[in-house]
Amino acid sequence: MHPVRTLSISIERHFDDVAAFLAEALNYPTWATGLSTGLAPSTQGSGAGPDEWIADAPGAGEGNVFIRFSPPNTFGIADHWVRLPDDTVIYVPLRVVRNGAGTTVSLTLFQLPGMDDAQFEADAEWVQRDLVKLKTVVEAE
C-alpha cells in the first residue's frame, strides 16, 4: 500500500459543466501542466495502445508518455492512467463531486516506490497548482 494525499478544489460551476470539461481529453493541456506540450490521439505505429493518447510530458525522461482516460460518464469519474516510457503505469484517480450550486474536484496522488518525501511533496504542490489552473479555466468558460 502506498502513502496517498487527496488534493481538492472548489469550482464555481455546475457539476455537469465541470464533468463535461474533464470528460474531454483535449482539455487537459489547458490546465494540467504535465501535459503542457500537448496531447494527441494515438496513431498506428506510435507505440500507444488502442485507447491511449500521446503526450510529451515534462520530466518524463526520454520519449513520450501514453495516457488512457476513463470514458465520459455521468458519475464524475475522470480517472486516467499514465504509462511512462519504461512502461510503468501511474493511476490518477480524479473525481468531480456536486457541492451545492458548485463542484469540488479531487485528485488522489500516490507516493510511488522510489519517491522520497521531498519528491512527493513537490508532486503534491504541482498538482495543487494544476487544480488552481483548472478552477481558473473552467470558471472563465
**In whole angstroms, what is the distance from residue 108 CA to residue 62 CA?**
26
Q: Which three cell numbers stand for residue 58?
A: 515534462
Query: Distances in Å between the alpha carbon of 80 and those of 67, 99, 101, 117?
Result: 7, 23, 26, 23
Q: Could you tell me which of 3, 4, 5, 35 has the C-alpha nearest to residue 134?
A: 35
The whole-model pTM stands at 0.88
- Per-residue model confidence as pLDDT tens for the chain (141 residues): 999 999 999 999 999 999 999 999 989 999 998 766 678 887 655 565 568 888 876 655 566 888 999 999 999 999 999 988 888 899 999 999 999 999 999 999 999 999 999 999 999 999 999 999 999 999 998
Cα gap 46→52, rounded to integer Å: 10
Contact 105, 95 (CB under 8 A): yes
